[in-house]
Amino acid sequence: MTMTQKYGKDKSEDNYRRAVALIKEKLPSMRILNALLMINLGKEEDILVDARQTPPVLLLETTEEPDCRFQTKPEYLIQFSQGKLEPRYALFKDAFFHEAIPPKVLPVASLPTPTEDLDRVRADIAEFGYGLVKDALAPEQIATLKKAVLEQAAGEVAAGVAAKDGGPNAPNQRIWTLINKGQEFIDLLQHPLIDEIVPDFLGEHALIHSYSANIARPGNVPMQLHTDQVAIQPPVREIAFGLNIMWFLEDVTAENGGTRVYPGSHLGHVAPDDIFDLKDSVAAQGPAGTALVFESRLWHATGPNIQQTGERPVILMFFMRSFIRQQENNFLSLREDVERDLPDKVKAMLGFCTTGALGGVEGDVREGQMVKRLKNPVGALRKTTNV
Ligand SMILES: O=C(O)CCC(=O)C(=O)O
Ligand SMILES: [Fe+2]
C-alpha cells in the first residue's frame, strides 16, 4: 500500500452520502418551514424537499418554482449537525445557536447616547454591547478623513478596483486596507481613544483584524445581521474576541444607513430568527465625530439608507485579541513604502510584534518583541544535498 492509498482517499462521496442521510433523518423537523426547498450540495442534481406536507418528503423532480434554494458543502451540513459549525455560517456566513434566543427589545429611552464620559461608554458596552463616544474627532479631523475617504472611494471607482455591495445595485462602497491609503488613516490608528478602550477590553497587543471605510448609499439593501466574531467556530459566546470602533464622518441617522443593532444581544445565546429581517433593531446614531464602539458578540448590520441623496461614510477599525488570525493579511497587503515609515506602535497593531509565544520569526518567542521580515531566513543546512 502506498502512502497515497493510505491517506489521500477522496472523502467527498462519503460526505455527500452522509449529508443526504442527514437531510433524510431531519425531514420531520423541516415541516415548520412549510416550503419547497431546493438544496444543492455541489452536484449537478439538486435535492428537493417538500416540507409543505406532513411528513415532509424528498421529491425526484418538480415543475414548481422552489420557495428557497441554497447551496452548501456536504461537510458543512455534517459539521453543523455535530454542533461544530453554525448553520448560518455555512449558509450565509453567519451564526446560529441551538436553542437560540431571539434578541429582546429594550426601551429606547434607556439606550446609549453619545457621551464624553468614557466610563459610561465602558459601562454601556458591558450592558448593551455598544457605546458612543461624543466628539471623538475634532471638526478638522472629520473634514480631513471624510475628504480622504470620499476621494479614495471615487479613485477606486475610476480605477475599476472599487468594492461595492448592498444589494443588486451595489450602491455601498467598502474601502479596504486603509493602512495603505493615506497618512490620515495611519494617524487615526494613533488616536488616544484606542489606548483608552482597546487593551482594557481585549488584552495587550490586540491586532487590527480589518481597517476599512464603509459608505452606505441611497437604495442599498441592508447587510444581513451578524456578529463580528462569526469566524470563530465553533462559536464562543462567553467572551468577546473583538472590538470595533466606527468613526462617524457624517451625522449618522436611522435614515442614512446608521448601523442597526440589537442592544443587549451580546449576552447569552442570542440570535435573530431571520438574519435578513431588521425588525425591532435600532439605529446607532450620532453627529459626525462620534465613535461607535461595539463588541464582537453584538448582533448588527449596516442599515438601509432610505434618503434620496446623501452618503454615510464611516471608518471601521476592528480589533481582535492577539491570538486571532486577522481578516486582512497585512503581511501580504501592506505596501513596502508604507511599511518603511510606519511607527512601531502601528506596526505592532498589524502583527509585527510577538505576543506570548505567538508571531515570532525564527523562534523568537519572547513577549512584546518587534519582528521584521528576515532578508535571508535560514534554509536547509545539511551535509548532503541529495535529500
Ligand atoms: O457599515 C456598517 O454599518 C457596519 C459594517 C459591519 O457590520 C461590518 O463591517 O462588519
Ligand atoms: Fe459587522
Q: What is the mean pLDDT of residues 69-85?
A: 84
Same domain, yes or no, for 77 and 203? no
Nearest CA to ligand 1 atom 1: 302
In a domain, 6, yes or no: no
* Same domain as 112, residue 63: no
Q: Is residue 374 part of a domain?
A: no
* 314 domain-assigned: yes
Question: Does the pLDDT of residue 379 top 60, yes or no?
Answer: yes
How far apart (Å, rounded) are the C-alpha atoms in residues 23 and 259? 36
Report pLDDT digits (tens) over 353-364.
999 889 999 887
Indicate whether 28 and 124 sit together in one domain. no
Distance 160 CA to ligand 2 centre (A): 25
Residue 383: inside a domain: no
Question: Do 27 and 70 reside in the same domain of the chain?
Answer: yes
pLDDT in tens, 120-148: 999 999 999 999 999 999 999 999 999 99
How many of the other CB atoms lie within 10 Å of CB of 299?
25
CB atoms within 10 A of CB 157: 12
> Region 11-31: what's the mean pLDDT?
94
Q: Is 260 a pocket residue for ligand 1 (Cβ < 6 Å)? A: no
Least confident residue range of 87-91, 139-143, 170-174, 346-350: 87-91
Q: Whose CA is nearest to atom 7 of ligand 1?
A: 301
Strands in 130-133's sheet, in edge-to-edge order, are 130-133, 291-295, 242-248, 312-320, 207-216, 172-175, 163-165
Establish whether residue 259 lines the binding site of ligand 1, counting it when its CB lies within 6 angstroms of any ligand atom: yes
**Can you give the pLDDT at residue 1?**
52
pLDDT-derived band at 97 (thresholds 50, 70, 90) equals: very low
Domain that holds residue 76: 16-82
Residues 250, 312: one domain?
A: yes
Give, for ligand 1, the residue of 176, 223, 319 to mutate: max count of ligand atoms closer than 8 Å to Cβ. 223
Question: What is the pLDDT, as a whole number, of residue 93?
Answer: 42
- Does residue 77 share a domain with residue 112? no
In a domain, 11, yes or no: no
Q: How far is the CA of 387 from the centre of ligand 1 (A)?
A: 51
Q: Is the pLDDT of residue 72 over 50?
A: yes
Q: Which of 35, 67, 82 lies at the terminal end of a domain, its last residue? A: 82
Instruction: Kindly state whether residues 346 and 221 are assigned to the same domain.
Output: yes
Number of domains making up the chain? 2
Q: Is residue 178 part of a domain?
A: yes
Residue indicated by cell numbers 519572547: 366
For 152-187, what is each residue's pLDDT tens digit?
999 999 999 999 999 999 999 999 999 999 999 999
Residues 30 and 143 in one domain: no
Q: Which residues contact 159 (CB under 8 A, 6 or more apart)?
A: none
pLDDT in tens, 273-329: 788 899 999 999 999 999 999 999 999 999 999 999 999 999 999 999 999 999 999
Instruction: Indicate whether 68 belongs to any domain.
Output: yes
CATH of residue 277's domain is 2.60.120.620
Same domain, 208 and 346: yes
Q: What is the mean pLDDT of residues 332-356?
A: 95
Tens of pLDDT, residues 243-268: 999 999 999 999 999 999 999 999 99
Task: Tell me if 181 sits within 8 A of 216, measured CB to CB.
Answer: no
Q: What is the CA radius of gyration of the chain?
A: 24
Nearest CA to ligand 1 atom 4: 302
The reply to whether 245 falls in a domain is yes
The pLDDT assigned to 105 comes to 75
300 lines ligand 1 (CB under 6 A): yes
Q: β-strands 68-71, 36-40: how paired?
A: parallel
